[in-house]
Each structure stands twice: as C-alpha cells, then as structure tokens.
Amino acid sequence: MFDLEKAKIAIIGLGYVGLPLAVEFSKKIFTIGFDIDERRISELEKGYDRTFEIEDNVLSSDTVNLKYSSNIQDTKDCNIYIITVPTPIDDANQPDLEPLIKSSRTVGSVLSKNDVVIYESTVYPGVTEEICVPELEKSSGMKYNKDFFCGYSPERVNPGDKNHTIASIVKVTAGSTPEVAQYVDDLYNQIVVAGTHPASSIKVAEASKVIENTQRDVNIALINELALIFNQMGIDTNEVIDAAATKWNFNKLVPGLVGGHCIGVDPYYLTYKAQELGYQPNIILSSRQINNGMSKYIANQTVKEMIKAGKAIKNSNILILGLAFKEDCPDIRNSKVVDIINELKNCGANINIYDPWVNLSQESELYSNFLTNNPLDSDKRYDAIVVAVAHKQFKSYNSKNYKKMLDGDGVIIDIKNIVDNPTWRL
C-alpha cells in the first residue's frame, strides 16, 4: 500500500522550513511546493528566495522534480502531504492554531485514498490527532487510519545556519500506525544523511520537539538572570561565563534577547497544555518572564548611560543596529529588538534602524519611519547606538566607524558582545 517509488510529495507552506524541505525532497522525489502567498510563488518561480535560505542559483536551475503553485488542486496527484506552516501565539501568549487548522482543511479537500499527511509544525502533544485529524476528516469525508493516515516529524532547521541543514540533523519520525511509521521513517531517510530517530507515537514526537526549545529558553533565562545580578555587582558577565566554561560540563550560553518563532514561542504551547491539565509550570513561565523582560532592561540601561553622558533623552537620536531576531537572517518575526525600540520611543527618542538583511520595501508598512540605509554613508550623528544583532556586517565595524556615527560623547550599548570597549555591555 505504501510504496516510496510511487511517492509524490506536496509541501504545504514554503517558508524557512518548507522551502529547504521541498528542495531536498525534489532531489529524490517529484515535489510540489504549495503556498497561499502568490507573490512568494512568483518569486520562487523566478529563482528568488526572500528568506535567503536557498541560493538563487539552486532555485533557478532547471529542476524537473520541483514545481510551485498557489492552487491546491495542482497537488491532487500527490500522495504525501507535508505541512510546514507556522504555529504562532496570540497577544495573550496562547497557541494560535489557525494556520494549522486552515492548512489541514485545505489538504483535506484534495486527499485521496491511502494518502499520508505529515506535520512538521511545532505543537503541544496531541494537536496532530486531536485538532488536525478531525479537520482532515471533515473536509475529506474520509476516516483516519482507514482511508488516510498521518505522520509527524518535527522540523529542526536553524534559520541562517548553513552548517546545520536538513540533511545533517537527525530527524525524529512517527506515524499513526506501525506501517505508516516505517513509511514516514523510510521517506525521511531518503534525504537525511544524519539518520532518523523513530518515536513510538505521534504524541512522543510532538513532545520531543516542544521541549527542545523549552529547555533552551530556560537555560538562557538563567544566564540572563545572572547577567542582571552581575551587572548590579559591576562584574562583566561574559568574563564570568568564559571562566566558568573552562569546566568540561558547563553549558556555555550568553545573555541576550530571546525572540523569533521558536524559542520565544514554543514554551507557551507546552505551558498551555500543562495548565489545561491543571499543572502550573512555574520554571517555564518564570523563564519566559525573565527573557521577555530583557528588552525593557536594555532600554533602561541605554537611558541611564545617556543621562550619565549628559545626553537629553527627549528628541535624542538613537541608532539601532539590527532588527532581525538573530544574526545573518532577514526574519523579524517576534523580534525582541522591536520592544527595545518601543521603550525608547516612549521616552521621546527619535529612532533609526539599520539592518542590511531586512528588505526595507517589504517591511515599509511597519518600519518606514525608522529604517535607514547604511549609517556609515550618512553624515547623521547619533546620541546612542544600540548594537542589537550580531550580523557579520556589524562584526566588521571598528572604533573609527562608531566614532563617525556618534555625536560627541554618544554612548554605545553592546547587547551581542561584538564591540571593543562599549559604554555598556549586557
């Protein structure tokens, strides 16, 4: 019933996860990349990836095994559907499953007998079978594990990371029956050189993914709290970490902002389910509170250092270097740099943002009043510079560059530990 030689794959959602996955599978199996964003499809057909995850020359090559479409009917001949849509949170930090629900309905409308639907989106345990499967059944008119089947294989990509690619990261796999589980595992072994780790159930696979980022969030929160303590003591946190890291079992992390669509979001999926079951996840929620508070803390330190330097805050000019949630990546989803900007704006400062990775025209609606071109090419001077993201371009800046951008005794706030002798460092 399940034959890889007859496989045709549809990847649902062509973002940071879906597009690289589609490219990898197309090297072995006929693949259709589906996305509701018609502009995205048009760009990909022209060989351009706005996320910079795939080189343009790869996309523009004549690959007969990879097609793109914004019409779900074009995927009707496929028998494997892999859903890679985002799973965000709402303003109340509650899971927003709408993209997952809508994509399940869309896929259900084209399902055929014995098709397999695989989810890669990060969720709390139970979402695939308790939320998504009913939507597939409703829109397809078919029965789960009788007419169609499901799998789960959580994504593990790291946006902007060219070393840890899909093929080089062990893939957790699971299926709704033992036979499907083997089929899903065999499928991913077609492209994952590092191998796979079959989980005993879809729920176990779901749980394994959500705790990966939860663990990292908790660990970073500890380092951030230590940074707050050491700053009160007048001790350089990074020096402390370097010293402690000389012990073989010390987990070396650095303080900073925790944003993006994974680490700053996924723990809320787990805490939501835990609280629904009557358990209060104190450590996880406390870690979220610490990490969410870092932007305000950094903004306050910026104001303090400016006042020390004799700078008036109201109508001051502040340059923010970096808007993306991480280095060498254009992704601004859930970027905590935005919170720093808002705090400083509320103090009456005039803000300019420079990020060479972020497309000004694409983000103009939200940031047109703040985004600027390379400040080194301008005569404008700033009362403060906040180095918020460790883009490779910013790592190349030297003291002369900063002197050119600063107005007299302006201050430099270094969040990423990439500036020599800043005014203040996190």
Query: Which tens digit of pLDDT belongs to each residue from 223-258?
Result: 999 999 999 999 999 999 999 999 999 999 999 999
Catalytic residue ranges: 262
Q: State the pLDDT at residue 362.
A: 58
* Mean pLDDT, residues 135-163 taken together: 91
- When pLDDT is cut at 50, 70 and 90, the band that residue 163 belongs to is confident
Taking 60 as the threshold, does the pLDDT of residue 115 lie above it?
A: yes
Task: Select from 389, 399, 405 the least CA-distant residue to 419.
Answer: 399
Asked whether residue 135 carries a pLDDT value surpassing 80, the answer given is yes
Lowest mean pLDDT among 29-33, 133-137, 355-359: 355-359
Q: In the predicted model, is pLDDT for residue 191 greater than 90?
A: yes
**Nearest CA to 115 among 84, 140, 86?**
140
**Across residues 304-323, what is the average pLDDT?**
95
Predicted confidence at residue 126, as pLDDT, reads 97
Length of the chain: 426
Residue 361 has pLDDT above 70, yes or no: no
- In whole angstroms, how far apart are CA 17 and each of 82, 160, 304, 391? 11, 11, 41, 21
Residue 109 has pLDDT above 70, yes or no: yes
pLDDT, residue 261, reads 84
pLDDT of 61 above 80: no
Confidence check: pLDDT of 62 > 70: no
What is the chain's mean pLDDT, rounded? 93
How far does the chain reach from its first CA to its final CA, in angstroms? 57
> Is residue 158's pLDDT more than 80?
no
